[in-house]
């Protein structure tokens, strides 16, 4: 991958790539808490793979974030390698994008602590995700409270300009911006302040069995979640059993008919075109489901085949990750040095 280009931090707390360099830097993290699914592909992986030709792309496997809740050590290890392999199989090019595992770059946790010293306890406690998740469990880990600060460290470490975020992460990105601006104001310009980039609404894939819930790694139903490595017959079965509604005609109405709308949006994500236009091509749910099953299978087949090839040589994927971590450490060390100097921890 090309070396990461320097950025300038403006006193207004916004950022721009260094003059003369058009490049925008973006970061995306995937948490190895489950198998990757169609929602991850449409909402995160595909845009990231497409973006690697226009932006400096950084992708990391956020294994430290997976420790905020109960986890199986062996499973994290397996899922981290699996997700890295899926990303490569889906077209992430390690010569263009930086791909690494978060825990292999100790500057994430080093900067996390430094940023905790610029974050209020009340600020962390106000995060909606923390409030929701902590309300559901009798005991929560301290790391669940502080994880948005680790997320801020993930982002600020690399001087990124843009962070693609879904609705659920908007508040965390806002916290990142607040902490970065506060740090810059208190200790002098140190961090690039990133902006959020929001995916389009139709890039949100819903659970096929419960179209009012988002397809997720751990939150959605097994029957309604299409995993990227599902065999063709499983994909077919899940799509054919997707929830629709008593209406007999195919029409696009996300409010009144979320199940059919989800199928049309998935079809649009696979084939291009608009869900409304596509609806006109199908006379029955059976036809629509058959078309969705085929379109999803065509999109996933090359990824599955490439995944199988790459899995035969796990040494290759490990080398990509080790090389990525080396390069990430170099960039990250500069940022941590800057932050420590600003805080008075270093004399030069
Ligand atoms: P997560 O699986 O929640 O760690 O999310 C990883 C990335 O995938 C994030 O960028 C999410 O916005 C995206 N993502 C997760 N689930 C979906 C979904 N159902 N539809 C679209 N994007 C999703």
| CA-atom Rg of the chain in angstroms | 21
CA–CA distance, 292 with 228 (Å, rounded to integer): 15
- Mean pLDDT for the chain? 91
The per-residue pLDDT for 221 is 87
CATH fold of 205-308, please?
Answer: Tyrosyl-Transfer RNA Synthetase (1.10.240)
| H or E element in which residue 187 lies | helix 167-187
Let me know: does 249 contact 285? Beta carbons within 8 Å.
Answer: no
Tell me which residue has its CA closest to atom 3 in ligand 1. Answer: 216
Lowest mean pLDDT among 10-14, 85-89, 158-162, 229-233: 10-14
The pair of structure tokens assigned to 37 is 């699914």
CA–CA distance, 213 with 126 (Å, rounded to integer): 24
Q: Is 217 part of the annotated catalytic residue set?
A: yes
Residue 45: phi, psi to the nearest 5?
A: -70, -50
Share of the chain above pLDDT 70, in %: 93
- Intervals of CATH 3.40.50.620 along the chain: 7-202+313-343
Tell me which residue has its CA closest to atom 9 in ligand 1. Answer: 44
CA–CA distance, 237 with 203 (Å, rounded to integer): 23
CA–CA distance, 81 with 317 (Å, rounded to integer): 8
CA–CA distance, 329 with 104 (Å, rounded to integer): 8
Ligand 1 centre to CA of 145 (Å) is: 21
Q: What is the pLDDT of residues 136-158, one digit of tens each?
A: 888 899 999 999 999 999 999 99
Q: Which atom of ligand 1 is nearest to the CA of 203?
A: 21
- Mean pLDDT for the stretch of residues 327-335: 96
Q: Which atom of ligand 1 is nearest to the CA of 36?
A: 2
The per-residue pLDDT for 202 is 64
Residue 6: Cβ within 10 Å count: 10
Q: Is 340 part of the annotated catalytic residue set?
A: no
The per-residue pLDDT for 25 is 97
Sign of the four-CA dihedral 321, 326, 327, 330: positive
Ligand 1 centre to CA of 64 (Å) is: 18
Let me know: does 292 contact 267? Beta carbons within 8 Å.
Answer: yes
38, 76, 166, best to mutate for ligand 1 pocket (most atoms within 8 Å of CB): 166
Whether residue 346 has pLDDT greater than 90: no
CATH fold of 7-202+313-343, please?
Answer: Rossmann fold (3.40.50)
- Mean pLDDT for the stretch of residues 119-129: 95
CA–CA distance, 252 with 255 (Å, rounded to integer): 9
The pair of structure tokens assigned to 322 is 């080790």
- Intervals of CATH 1.10.240.10 along the chain: 205-308
Ligand 1 centre to CA of 40 (Å) is: 5
Q: How confident is the model at residue 224 (pLDDT cuts 50, 70, 90)?
A: very high
Beta-bridge partner residues of 176: none
Residue 274: phi, psi to the nearest 5?
A: -105, 150
User: Which residues line ligand 1 at a C-beta cut-off of 6 Å?
Assistant: 30-31, 39-40, 42-44, 166, 203-205, 214-217
- Mean pLDDT for the stretch of residues 201-223: 86
Let me know: does 161 contact 195? Beta carbons within 8 Å.
Answer: yes
pTM: 0.91
Helices of type H across the chain: 38-40, 46-51, 73-89, 107-116, 121-125, 128-136, 142-156, 167-187, 232-240, 258-271, 275-279, 285-311, 314-343
Ligand 1 centre to CA of 189 (Å) is: 32
DSSP SS3 for 144: helix
Give Cα 85 distance to the centre of its chain.
15
- C-alpha torsion 224→227→232→233, nearest 10: -40
Q: Is 238 part of the annotated catalytic residue set?
A: no
DSSP SS3 for 120: coil
Q: What is the pLDDT of residues 39-98, one digit of tens each?
A: 999 989 999 999 999 999 999 999 999 999 888 999 999 999 999 999 999 999 999 999
The per-residue pLDDT for 201 is 61
Let me know: does 151 contact 165? Beta carbons within 8 Å.
Answer: no
């Amino acid at each position: 991958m090309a070396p990461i280009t320097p950025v300038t931090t403006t006193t207004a707390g916004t950022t721009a790539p260094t003059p003369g360099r058009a490049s925008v830097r973006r970061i995306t993290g995937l948490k190895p808490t489950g198998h990757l699914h169609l929602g991850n592909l449409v909402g995160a992986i595909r845009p990231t793979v497409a973006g690697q030709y226009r932006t400096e792309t950084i992708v990391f496997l956020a294994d430290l974030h997976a420790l905020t809740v109960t986890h199986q050590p062996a499973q994290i290890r397996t899922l981290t390698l699996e997700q890295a392999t899926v990303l490569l199989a889906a077209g992430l090019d390690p010569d263009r994008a930086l791909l690494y595992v978060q825990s292999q770059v100790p500057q994430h946790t080093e900067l996390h602590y430094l940023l905790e010293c610029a974050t209020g306890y009340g600020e962390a406690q106000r995060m909606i995700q923390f409030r929701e998740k902590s309300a559901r469990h009798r005991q929560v880990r301290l790391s669940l409270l502080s994880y948005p600060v680790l997320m801020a460290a993930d982002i600020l470490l690399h001087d990124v300009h843009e962070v693609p975020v879904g609705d659920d992460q908007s508040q965390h990105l806002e916290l990142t911006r607040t902490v970065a601006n506060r740090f810059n104001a208190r200790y002098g310009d140190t961090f690039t302040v990133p902006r959020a980039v929001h995916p389009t609404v139709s890039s949100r894939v819903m659970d096929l069995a419960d179209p009012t819930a988002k397809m997720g790694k751990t939150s959605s139903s097994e029957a309604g979640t299409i995993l990227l490595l599902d065999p063709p017959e499983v994909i077919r079965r899940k799509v054919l059993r997707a929830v629709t509604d008593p209406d007999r005609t195919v029409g696009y109405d996300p409010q009144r008919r979320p199940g059919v709308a989800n199928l049309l949006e998935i079809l649009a994500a696979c084939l291009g075109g608009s869900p409304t236009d596509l609806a006109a091509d199908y006379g029955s749910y059976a036809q629509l489901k058959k078309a969705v099953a085929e379109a999803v299978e065509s999109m996933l087949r090359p990824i599955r085949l490439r995944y199988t090839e790459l899995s035969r040589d796990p040494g290759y994927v490990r080398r990509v990750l080790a090389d990525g971590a080396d390069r990430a450490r170099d960039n990250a060390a500069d940022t941590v040095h800057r932050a420590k100097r600003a805080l008075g921890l270093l004399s030069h």
